[in-house]
Structure 1
Amino acid sequence: MFELFSGLDFWVGLSLCLALAFVLAFEFINGFHDTANAVATVIYTNAMPPRLAVVMSGLFNFAGVLFGGVGVAYAIVHLLPVDLLINVSTGHGLAMVFSLLASAIIWNLGTWYFGIPASSSHTLIGSILGVGLTNALLTHIPLSQGINWKKATDIALSLVISPLVGCALAALLLFLLLKYSPLSKMHKTPDARRAVDGKKHPPFWNRLTLVLSAMGVSFVHGSNDGQKGIGLIMLVLIGIVPGKFVLDLNASTYQIERTRDAVMHINQFYQRNSDNLADFLALGKGLRSDTPERFKCDPKQTEATIGAVLSSLSSVKDYRDLSADTRAQVRRGLLCLDDTAKKVSKLPKLPARERSDIDKLRADLTATTEYAPTWVIFAVALALGLGTMVGWKRVVETVGEKIGRQGMTYAQGMSAQIIAMASIGLANTLSLPVSTTHVLSSGVAGTMLANRSGLQGGTVRNILIAWVLTLPATIALSAGLFWLASLILS
């Protein structure tokens, strides 16, 4: 880890430390901001003591980050268009990262202070969108190119659909429990069980289900939200010390050969489909790739880009054998080839079988550019895990008592948590960022409706207002901060 500071100017090194501290602070705040969503039901239902619940949740969040992979991390990173990712400079990268993180932290702290279960995912994504749009204005490129709108649309759909699905499925699960086991003690609230049965804890099997599902939610939360921090740190490292992080310097010879083979195979793919792709890629036109100050990916430069990447990787067994500039050029070429391949896969004339082949080649193209060092994953896991252990009380009360007109029953807690765990786990496998806050809160709301206990209008209104306002507020805040930072730098 510490070798990344070698050879750096003092001020660049200091900026790097501050940027990393900002990312870890965001993850720490994310931890205590979202922890209540994972432990609200087990604490409210007395299935676990509060201190034990948050400590166990912290440990499972930690484990979720360690074993979660980096798919969601780069889904977040690729909200920014590829042209911005390959042209980011040290000063530009610092302004970008500090602006989006400051925006996310300010909104997260504000909503936590008022006890509103707002989404850290919406907050971060809104901040990234604000930076991308402002960058488009500052660099005089169309707003349509300032953001990877296809990726933004996919993520927006996952953020909108997942709470609706969580609400419906949690309501359905509770309905089934009410229908097939209407007299069970799991349909009591903690207060009713204490008054009628004189017992503090839920029945054994209900308690076990609540505990296991809460830890499951913590694990998938760590996996999903932790990856967002990993993606941010990789943005920081690639922007500030690109020579050491543009490619995975620990990649094995086999991984490098796999990357080189993917470039060769994609060239063969284009030649094989030249009838459909010749015009789009300018195949056989002999166009030469230039290297202007601000490089721009162009599908018509694909053949030249393939040639440049293959030339750079010829006989390379270790990325450390390449100069820092060559590594940056290789990464730029690989990202451009991946971006072009993604556009090619959407062309209507391409047969379905060939579309499947190019999607597989894309995974090999980015095998050594979409990665994260072990210390990055561990640092994010530690920050999120520690953050989980504080700040939980404000939102627990909201989730347990203020969403419905009556307190939450054991069955409601079980239904909401089981559905949240399954929904977020599925999103992780699809590399889609979702909001733990919204999935669980909407699940609780769904169970309240299924239980016919009704909803508290004021609380639901505040949650919906936060849900609606988070994106525009963070877009505006990060855009303003990035514009101001860019003005100062210029």
Structure 2
Amino acid sequence: MEAALVVFVVALALGFDYTNGFHDAANAIATSVSTRALTPRVALVMAAIMNFVGALLGTEVAETIATAIVDLRETSSHTALIVVLCGLVGAIVWNLITWWFGLPSSSTHALIGGLVGAGLAAGQSIYGAEIVDRVVLPMIVSPLVGFLLAFAVMIAVLWMFRRAAPSRVTRRFRIAQTASAAAMALGHGLQDAQKTMGVIFLALLTVGWAEREDGIPLWVKLSAAAAISLGTYSGGWRIMRTLGRRIIELDPARGFVAESVSAMVLYVNAFVLHAPVSTTHTITSAIMGVGATRRLSAVRWGVAGNILTAWVLTIPAAATVAALTTWALHPVLG
């Protein structure tokens, strides 16, 4: 029974990773597609490849997810696996709901909310201080940094090219967007695939199939990288339209700046702070930042408000679904 439950949890985690890929495909390529720097299919292939590469570049974020959200050390392996399973259900359900309505919410925070909700429903302890330091603060600070930095860099770009011919500038930035979209896709794989690795690693730790000091097994890294890449390649057109056109009409220069700033924020959080931040929050706030350099009214704040509402609801909504699933399944699974 326990072995079957582990296999099911791993499969469900990879399923979440796949939904993460198509849910967040827009993060990396929406701006490049909307400015016609890349065709949709070429952009998806590039993003899928870079997602796979990025997923293999580190494990710090994965270890945060596995060891700094829910304390499962003193519980039975059976209960621990149910907590992980129900946390994944909460995250997947919220991903599918927001994908259906075309809202770029955070798969990262859906997963964390799901784990917290399932853990509390099962009577387990959560690492409150760690969650505040590594999740809540980065969740607040990263979008603000993305907005302000994108705004400042875009102002600098406008000043640097103020005397250049607009057609030439547009052509050059359209070419440059290929590199910035690749950098963003790499950061997405670096951040989001690691979260699935962390969940699988957590499940393996609870049954003694892995040791914390040995780190994450290679097969876990490769399977998580493959799942998010396949999900990305399948595309997320609903959310892509929201990010690429509904918030603001982007030009190549603004697209390049938004992607470059977002990628930098993701790299700093992954390699320096080891914080699982949201690629969705980061790129969306950066798009708003470059858009605000035209004028504040250029940003469609009504759409931005709907996105913000989804952001606020993500953790409690995923936690609620996970908690209800835990209460429903626990009597059935013992």
Taking structure 1 as the reference length, the TM-score comes to 0.65
Residues 1:478 and 2:297 are matched in the alignment: no
CA contact (8 A) 2:170 2:253 kept: no
User: Which residue identity does 1:77 align to in structure 2?
Assistant: A
User: Which residue identity does 1:211 align to in structure 2?
Assistant: T
SS of 2:126 mapped into structure 1: coil
What residue number does 1:80 align with?
69
Q: Hey, what's the Cα distance between the residues in 1 that align with 2:310 and 2:198?
A: 25
Partner deviation per Cα, 1:172-229 (whole Å, 9 max, x = no partner): 111112223235466xxxxxx7xxx9xxx951x3123211011111111101111101
Q: Hey, what's the Cα distance between the residues in 2 that align with 1:21 and 1:431?
A: 26
The 1:127–1:184 alpha-carbon spacing in structure 2 relative to 1, beyond 3 Å, is farther
The 1:223–1:184 alpha-carbon spacing in structure 2 relative to 1, beyond 3 Å, is same
Q: Hey, what's the Cα distance between the residues in 1 that align with 2:293 and 2:121?
A: 44
Query: Which of 166, 171, 187 is matched with 2:146 structurally?
Result: 166
The 1:149–1:168 alpha-carbon spacing in structure 2 relative to 1, beyond 3 Å, is same
Query: Which of 243, 257, 264 is matched with 1:422 structurally?
Result: 264
Partner deviation per Cα, 1:317-357 (whole Å, 9 max, x = no partner): xxxxxxxxxxxxxxxxxxxxxxxxxxxxxxxxxxxxxxxxx
Within 5 Å, give how 1:406-417 maps onto structure 2. Answer: 407-417=249-259
Residues 1:149 and 2:116 are matched in the alignment: no
Q: Hey, what's the Cα distance between the residues in 2 that align with 1:104 and 1:24?
A: 12
Partner deviation per Cα, 1:251-271 (whole Å, 9 max, x = no partner): xxxxxxxxxxxxxxxxxxxxx
What residue number does 2:94 align with?
107
How far apart are 1:158 and its partner, in Å?
0.6
Within 5 Å, give how 1:128-147 maps onto structure 2. Answer: 128-136=115-123, 146-147=125-126
What residue number does 2:113 align with?
126
Structure 1 range deviating more: 87-96 or 383-392 = 87-96
Greater share of residues in helix: 2
Segments of structure 1 that go 5 or more residues without pairing to the other structure are: 1-10, 140-145, 187-192, 248-367
What residue number does 1:178 align with?
158
CA contact (8 A) 1:79 1:129 kept: no
Q: Hey, what's the Cα distance between the residues in 2 that align with 1:14 and 1:486?
A: 16
Q: Hey, what's the Cα distance between the residues in 2 that align with 1:235 and 1:438?
A: 25
How far apart are 1:412 and its partner, in Å?
1.1
CA contact (8 A) 1:213 1:417 kept: yes
Q: Hey, what's the Cα distance between the residues in 2 that align with 1:42 and 1:412?
A: 10
CA contact (8 A) 1:46 1:202 kept: no
SS of 2:162 mapped into structure 1: coil
Partner deviation per Cα, 1:456-481 (whole Å, 9 max, x = no partner): 13311210110111111112111221
The 1:47–1:458 alpha-carbon spacing in structure 2 relative to 1, beyond 3 Å, is same
What residue number does 2:35 align with?
45
User: Which residue identity does 1:212 align to in structure 2?
Assistant: A
Residues 1:434 and 2:277 are matched in the alignment: yes
Q: Hey, what's the Cα distance between the residues in 2 that align with 1:96 and 1:417?
A: 36
What residue number does 2:78 align with?
91
User: Which residue identity does 2:185 align to in structure 1?
Assistant: S
Query: Which of 187, 200, 206 is matched with 1:220 structurally?
Result: 187
Segments of structure 2 that go 5 or more residues without pairing to the other structure are: none
User: Which residue identity does 1:219 align to in structure 2?
Assistant: L
SS of 1:389 mapped into structure 2: helix
Residues 1:16 and 2:3 are matched in the alignment: no
Q: Hey, what's the Cα distance between the residues in 1 that align with 2:236 and 2:122?
A: 36
Partner deviation per Cα, 1:408-449 (whole Å, 9 max, x = no partner): 111110111110010000001121111110100010011111
How far apart are 1:90 and its partner, in Å?
3.3
Partner deviation per Cα, 1:92-125 (whole Å, 9 max, x = no partner): 1231121000110000011011111111111111
Query: Which of 288, 291, 294 is matched with 1:445 structurally?
Result: 288
CA contact (8 A) 1:29 1:105 kept: yes
Larger Rg: 1
What residue number does 1:271 align with?
none
What residue number does 1:36 align with?
26
CA contact (8 A) 2:174 2:253 kept: no
User: Which residue identity does 1:450 align to in structure 2?
Assistant: T
Q: Hey, what's the Cα distance between the residues in 2 that align with 1:179 and 1:389?
A: 37
User: Which residue identity does 2:210 align to in structure 1?
Assistant: F
CA contact (8 A) 2:146 2:265 kept: yes
Residues 1:58 and 2:48 are matched in the alignment: yes
How far apart are 1:72 and its partner, in Å?
0.6
SS of 1:46 mapped into structure 2: coil
CA contact (8 A) 2:37 2:252 kept: no
User: Which residue identity does 2:188 align to in structure 1?
Assistant: H
Partner deviation per Cα, 1:273-311 (whole Å, 9 max, x = no partner): xxxxxxxxxxxxxxxxxxxxxxxxxxxxxxxxxxxxxxx
What residue number does 1:487 align with?
331
Taking structure 2 as the reference length, the TM-score comes to 0.94
Q: Hey, what's the Cα distance between the residues in 1 that align with 2:186 and 2:2?
A: 35
